[in-house]
Amino acid sequence: MAALVVAGGRTVKGNESVISVDQIDPDTISDPDASTPPQEPATAAIPAPAAPRPPKPVVHSRAVDPEVVAPPALSESELERVEPRAPLSDLALAGPPKPPKSKMPGDWNGTKLFQPVAVAAGLIEAKDYAVAITGVDVVRADETCSDEGKTWACGARARTAFRAFLRGRAVACTLPPEGGRDTISADCHIGNRDVGQWLVENGWARAAQGGPYLEAENRARAAKKGIFGPAPNLGGLPALPAASGPAPVAPDSILPAEDGAVTPPVDQPAPAQ
């Protein structure tokens, strides 16, 4: 083992390489300051900040001198006090709103009556008013007319035609603001249509003496319109069915007794107490 160790050491020592060092000639070394200029550092590539610009001067539209500007001289005689402007609404007033002014017949176009009911040809009722159309003679619903010896219910026919003309539309009449129970004679119109003119010219009413519709009545008589014409032909209407049982007892037949009790008819049961 000792012989092997000695032999290995000799072999390693024989294979060691020799390092040679080159000699530098001092004459060949030149001064760097003489030929090569010095290089700038890496931070030289960053540009220097620009110089700040001077502030822009403030330009005014005009120069105002407070010592020169002064209100114009006005004399008290040239000034005039006027009334204040009216408020745009009653809500701007401090007190309660003023009540509306009462309308007079010459200041408004009429009082509107909604859903009028034709009681007869020329007579309507609506809104606690009973109005008779001015210039016409009202044809009552129970009035009858004769045609060649035959009598027919011209009053009921005229009322039906008048109801069809109204058709529930609002009628404007020259009425006072306060209503009443008495019948009031007034001019009425629906839109631009005169109600009295329509009644007379179609023969469903007669013109009053001295009224404005006398010529319209003469034309209706000549044309035999409305109540001035023949009786309507009811031959094409179906006949009424015959009654199959006894006629019902009218409520007026139930009369109270002396003690206040109600005695029903024989064919009707007594009412529940």
Per-residue pLDDT tens for 128-146?
788 999 999 999 999 999 8
Tell me the C-alpha to C-alpha distance, in Å, between residue 56 and each of 14, 52, 60, 63, 235: 89, 12, 13, 18, 107
Residue 62's pLDDT band, with cuts at 50, 70 and 90, is low
Residue with more model confidence, 54 or 217: 217
In this predicted structure, what is the pLDDT of residue 110? 74
In this predicted structure, what is the pLDDT of residue 75? 77
Average pLDDT over residues 233-241: 62
Instruction: Give the global pTM.
Output: 0.49
In this predicted structure, what is the pLDDT of residue 24? 58
In this predicted structure, what is the pLDDT of residue 262? 46
Whether residue 104 is predicted with pLDDT greater than 60 in this model: the reply is: no
Residue 258's pLDDT band, with cuts at 50, 70 and 90, is very low
Residue with more model confidence, 213 or 59: 213
Torsion region of 197: left, alpha or beta (phi above 0 gives left; psi -120 to 50 gives alpha): alpha
CB burial string 103-131: b at 16+ within 10 A, e below:
eeeeeeebbebeebebbbbbbbebeebeb
Whether residue 58 is predicted with pLDDT greater than 90 in this model: the reply is: no
Strand partners, 147: 150
Q: Which CATH architecture has domain 111-228?
A: Beta Barrel (2.40)
In this predicted structure, what is the pLDDT of residue 159? 94
Domain ranges of the chain: 111-228
Helices (H), the chain: 2-14, 32-35, 154-166, 195-201, 214-223
In this predicted structure, what is the pLDDT of residue 97? 58
Computed over every residue of the chain, the mean pLDDT equals: 74
